[in-house]
Amino acid sequence: MTKVDVFESEAPGEAGQIDELLKTARTRIAAHLYPIKRPSAGVGITPTPLGSLLVAEGPRGLLMIRYLAPGEAAKAIGMMREKFDPVEDQSVADRVGCEVGSYLGGDQSALRSKIDLALVKSDFHRAALRCLCEVPIGALITYGALADQARAPGAQRAIAMGANLLPIYVPCHRVICADGFVGNYTGGAERKLKLLRAEGFDKFDARMHVTKESLLGHRKTFIYCRQDCHAASRANPLNAMIFADASHARASGLRPCRLCHPE
């Protein structure tokens, strides 16, 4: 066999080996490059009954909603750049604006956009926000009860709802003080009240305190009571939620107390 014959017979095998090496190299390079690749996040501003909102959405859902204030847009976009490349996308903002408007207009199923907590830095806050998403429409929870649900009892001071990057959709407006006062809100008390009224809580006194007409629900017994019920007074307050009315309590799967008959 001549040198030419040997070369011609071995070339296909060598070419196959080279292809395998290149394939392996590409896979390894891609694995190293993946962490530094940043997906795009569509960003826009929309008017709503709550004021103008800056909205950002990534591939997996909404990343951020901010009530606009001086300097807030630049701060929010700077925060997103850590993991995403912000690009202008007004359609994202328009869709969220329509959902929020419909929600405040009475459509309690309007907030359909998915959420993504990728920008939340703390595992503790991420756990608290996930628990908060389980508080149903027409219900309130205290900071202490939320900390207990997040398996951090006694850490109510650490649950700062300012860490919520997705207000309205992650309903931090449903968190109140242990004494029944509405409490603070990242968008201000008036916005908080507007959201709560849209969810059935139209009974607050002049001091923005939950009135006695609201009902107490228990997330362990699945029973709801009047606030002056003897059974309610014996229940652990960390397991309690406050419901706007009986219809919201029943919609959350609770049954009425047989002692106080709160129907």
Q: What is the pLDDT of residues 119-174, one digit of tens each?
A: 998 888 888 899 999 999 999 999 888 888 877 666 655 565 667 899 999 999 99
Q: What is the mean pLDDT of the chain?
A: 85
Cα 96–Cα 98–Cα 103 angle in degrees, nearest 5:
95
Say whether pLDDT at 44 is over 80. Answer: yes
pLDDT for the residue 9: 47
What per-residue confidence (pLDDT) applies to 183? 84
Query: Rounded to a whole number, what is the distance in angstroms from the first to the last CA of the chain?
Result: 99
pTM attached to this predicted model: 0.81
Active-site amino acid positions: 172
Instruction: Evaluate whether 227 touches 215 at the Cβ level (below 8 Å).
Output: yes
Q: Which residues contact 219 (CB under 8 A, 6 or more apart)?
A: 239, 240, 241
